[in-house]
Structure 1
Amino acid sequence: MNIIQKKIRFSPIAYTRYLRGIKKSHGMFREGEILQSLSVKSWRIAPGNTTISPKAFFLEGQLDRITGTAYTDDPFKAMNGGFEVEHQETRAYKLKDIWMINGFIYKGLHNFRLHPTYQLSNKMNYFPHVLIDTEIDHAALYSTSEGNQYFGLWLTDDCANYALAAAEGTPVTSNIIPYSHMAEYESFLEMNPFRTNAAYLKNAILFDDNWGNNESKHLRFAANRAKLLARFPANSHPGVFILRRNSGISRVMLNEIEIAEKLREKYGFKIVDVTQNMASEILLACSGAKVLIGIEGSHLFHGLMMLEPGSSVLVLQPPTRFSAVIKNTTDMENINYSFVVGIQKEENFSIDFEEVERTLELLPF
């Protein structure tokens, strides 16, 4: 690593956030245009490409139950497919004289947030470091604000970007651990980043693909899947249900355990629980699964990391928060996407097991 600890640097830069009108804040996510304006050099790592969105598998009338969405503008268009998707190119940006303090990256009059505010140190937010003893000559940052807020995007985006960072310099990320399963995944995926909450980066490479799933990203994601499958090999089996329970953003399915148990009794599904099981236990259960089932959410990405092309995912969607985000990954990896929309029960929802069975019958095996 190109880490230097030979002198103390004084920087009040983090305090400039208190001077209104001086700091311009951004999320460290899809900020290629801003990074371009601040960089001394930029280049294309991989070209973009276009794909045709496939139609999801679902029963008639399911879309009519939707009363609200999350990160999905048009669920009818997203699920019926047939349209062209343009995936942006992957670009790198070289910036000089960067400060990385308490989950923020500072450059000139701009700062980039790497974490949601609830993950940051309140004390350090009000009294950030002014004396920095860590310098890195050639850093490469692969983390994004969205990846640090949503576990699924950390697995698909940040972990895939790690390979880019390792090729360009010292992979650097914050010293904030937002997920309980993160350390296990870093070990399994051979990720060894330098963690810091206070460093001066003489040269820093940052990446952006505007959340595109181009061919390069597919290959990096597939390489990570191959590492996990080599570590957790298994024979083919009917499927796995990943219990969400009360983890993450609230979306309580009243009969979640009941549906999981019925799938185990009738079809031989395995059941794992993200609130109880280690990542190794979840990945072992998902390895070899023909179908992955669970409530819509980041916890399903444990399974998506293991599903091979041609397998399927069946997402149980709350009617008030229908999301097509997972379909972005299944489309990239040639995995069949299906869903059942729940029935609203006051603030929560339930799923009709018969509809789950009928949807399973639609899937190719």
Structure 2
Amino acid sequence: MESDLSPISTSTAGNQKKWTLAAYKNMARKRLARKADINLKSIALKSWDIAPGETTHSPSAFFLPGQMDRVTGWEAKRFYPFEHPARTMQGLGDVEQGPTRGYLLKDVWMIDGALYKDNASLWLSLKPSMFPRITVDTEIDRAAVYCTQNGNTWFGTWLMEDCPTYSLACDEGVPVTTAPSARFPLFTQAPAYEDWFGMKPVRLHSAFFRELVLFDDLSNNRNRHLRYRAMGEKLLSHVKHEAHPGVFILRGGDGDLRFLRNELEVAEHLRKSRGFRVLDPLKTDVPTIVATCAGARTVVGVEGSQLVHGVNVLQPGGSLLALQPPNRFVSYYKFLTDRDRQNFGFVVGTPEGDGFKIDIQEVERTLDLFPS
């Protein structure tokens, strides 16, 4: 995944800096002229298929009767599909996966985590700065941006979506991502994962790109599957491992609150009854995380980004059991396990105080549904 391209020039002399009002023009157009942004990819000079689309199969998830009746809310703002999860969990059958695509543009500005060209833009962070800079002192002949707004916001999305796109970026130019800031700091465990993946991105707040390549890389086609599995194999190459029953990955109070009130009780039960390992990724370094998860036949935990540590190295035929809050059901991992030929199951909790509770016997019975 390492890039050997380096056509980057950086200058600090005042008369060599490039000046632009691109960010302010964009703000003025939206506030004064009330014109919506034009998608940057729509004005590309060239677009092409990097990998073809295909038809894949989505089987039913593994779950007990009555589970869907407990769902009172689902994450419909940021995660497809934007509907009640019942249809997805019952199995979508044949699904058309789109191609992986590339887009070439010329003379593009990056200003404080956003890309601009003419009247088009693309946000790589959730919100632009209130007073964006007007000068840049970095110029790149040909770059490829692999990061996304969601990946810059959530650790799990960064690891599952942005990191697989990095290898595409290396094939097209200097692999570029946004630089961390006080508002959007670098994820604590990102440097260690990047080191084991062999990733050496260029991190920038602002720059001018003579040529820039962007990607559509959200389709779960075979090409994306192979890139993700290659990442997992790189992680496994760093640790000694053998098959074991499973790992329970604690969520605790990190990230968006999904407070499983009896999380430790469920984890300890699975440790005693099934020989599961229990992992707290917030208190553990990446080498220990990978070594603990490697070889697990089943990954269990509250639905959330922390599960990605186990999914990274989960093998085909392995299983993922997500413990879902009744008021925030997320289907995201189902699409990944379908793609990677793994089993997905879930248990929906019941509300209790400021969180939810999971029935341990329902966890046991759902685990028994998975193929042995």
Please state which band the TM-score falls in when normalised by the shorter chain: over 0.9
Cα separation, 2, equivalents of 1:42 and 1:82 = 30
Q: Deviation at 1:347?
A: 3.1
Cα separation, 2, equivalents of 1:218 and 1:206 = 19
Q: Deviation at 1:325?
A: 0.5
Q: Residue 18 of structure 2: which of 9, 22, 36 is its match?
A: 9
Q: Residue 197 of structure 1: which of 205, 209, 224 is its match?
A: 205
Q: Deviation at 1:23?
A: 6.6
Which residue in the other structure is 1:295 paired with?
Answer: 302
Report which stretch shifted further, 127-136 or 16-25.
16-25
Q: Residue 268 of structure 1: which of 270, 275, 292 is its match?
A: 275
Report which stretch shifted further, 1-10 or 326-335.
1-10
**Divergent runs of 4+, >6 A:** none
1:238 partner SS: coil
Q: Deviation at 1:165?
A: 0.2
Q: Residue 184 of structure 1: which of 182, 192, 215 is its match?
A: 192
Report which stretch shifted further, 67-76 or 342-351.
67-76
Asked if the contact 1:16–1:22 (Cα under 8 Å) also holds between the matched residues in 2, the reply is: no
Which residue in the other structure is 1:359 paired with?
Answer: 366
Cα separation, 2, equivalents of 1:18 and 1:153 = 28
Task: Summarize the Cα distance change of 1:330–1:302 in structure 2 as closer, same or farther, 3 Å threshold.
Answer: same
Which residue in the other structure is 2:160 paired with?
Answer: 156
Q: Deviation at 1:22?
A: 7.0
Amino acid at match of 1:203: E
Which residue in the other structure is 2:3 paired with?
Answer: none
Cα separation, 2, equivalents of 1:25 and 1:293 = 41
After superposition, the C-alpha distances for 1:39-78 in whole angstroms (9 at most, x for unaligned) are 1111110110111211111111111111111134132211
Q: Residue 144 of structure 1: which of 145, 148, 158 is its match?
A: 148
Amino acid at match of 1:327: K
2:87 partner SS: helix
Task: Summarize the Cα distance change of 1:310–1:39 in structure 2 as closer, same or farther, 3 Å threshold.
Answer: same
After superposition, the C-alpha distances for 1:293-329 in whole angstroms (9 at most, x for unaligned) are 0000111011100100011111100111111111111
- Residues 200-349 of structure 1 mapped to structure 2, 5 A cutoff: 200-209=208-217, 211-349=218-356
Asked if the contact 2:40–2:117 (Cα under 8 Å) also holds between the matched residues in 1, the reply is: no
Q: Deviation at 1:82?
A: 4.6
Which residue in the other structure is 1:75 paired with?
Answer: 85
Which residue in the other structure is 1:47 paired with?
Answer: 52
Cα separation, 1, equivalents of 2:228 and 2:320 = 17
Asked if the contact 1:233–1:288 (Cα under 8 Å) also holds between the matched residues in 2, the reply is: no
1:172 partner SS: strand
Cα separation, 1, equivalents of 2:41 and 2:131 = 30
Unaligned runs of 5+ residues in structure 2 are 1-5
Report which stretch shifted further, 243-252 or 35-44.
35-44
- Residues 53-64 of structure 1 mapped to structure 2, 5 A cutoff: 53-64=58-69
Which residue in the other structure is 1:108 paired with?
Answer: 118
Cα separation, 2, equivalents of 1:219 and 1:18 = 40
Q: CA RMSD in A?
A: 1.6
Which residue in the other structure is 2:130 paired with?
Answer: 126
Unaligned runs of 5+ residues in structure 1 are 27-33
With the length of structure 2 as denominator, give the TM-score of the two structures: 0.91
